[in-house]
Amino acid sequence: MPKPTIYYIRHGQTDWNAAGRFQGSQDIPLNDTGRQQAAQAGSILKDLLARDARHPDHLAFVASPLGRTRSTMELVRHQLALPLGDYDLDDRLHEIRFGQWEGFTLAEQEAAHPDIFAARLINKWDLPPPGGESYASVQVRMRDWADGLQTDTVAVAHGGTARALMVALGVDTVAGVSDLPIQQGAVYVFRDGGMETYS
């Protein structure tokens, strides 16, 4: 039996994204650019579903519980002419938790914890920031989430969970995704053991 297709969307930009600050668990809202990106992702998804002869009513919709992902999901659903709030939340889609580094830039993290920062440059996947979680642990929960899907699904989540999902599904490697930019305003389609990006 083929695995369900995943239409994956990263949330739109926030002011912290624009400033290069790590968000993790912090509930930072979308800015104007982020709202435009969310609507753009919805428009791209609408075109993809039409191309695939898929009606949005036949898909599952699920988001990370953070506000920036919920707002993105509702803007996506608006583009699809669906009721805004009719979707599920799943904490397994929550962004990687950066612990004590949340709210700080990369340079500030390096200054505050130079030894840990240097070690993570060598092994970013397995070493968590202070009080945070590792990408390896996020990979486990994303694998668990993907394994439980029953139907083709639209998921709105985060950059960190996107990287973890790529590794969990075997479409990329730890080395390939560790510093891979995850686009906002794009749709990543995981299907038939591969991944395509539409932007």
Catalytic residues: 11, 95
> Could you give the CA distance from residue 110 to residue 136 in angstroms, rounded to a whole number?
21
At 54, phi and psi to the nearest 5? -110, 135
Q: Whose CA is closest to 145, among 169, 178, 117, 113?
A: 169
Euclidean distance between the first and the last CA atom of the chain, given in angstroms as a whole number: 29
> Which residues neighbour 134 within 8 Å (Cβ) at sequence distance 6 or greater?
125, 126, 127, 128
Residues linked to residue 63 through DSSP beta bridges, in sequence order: 89, 156
> Could you give the CA distance from residue 109 to residue 187 in angstroms, rounded to a whole number?
30
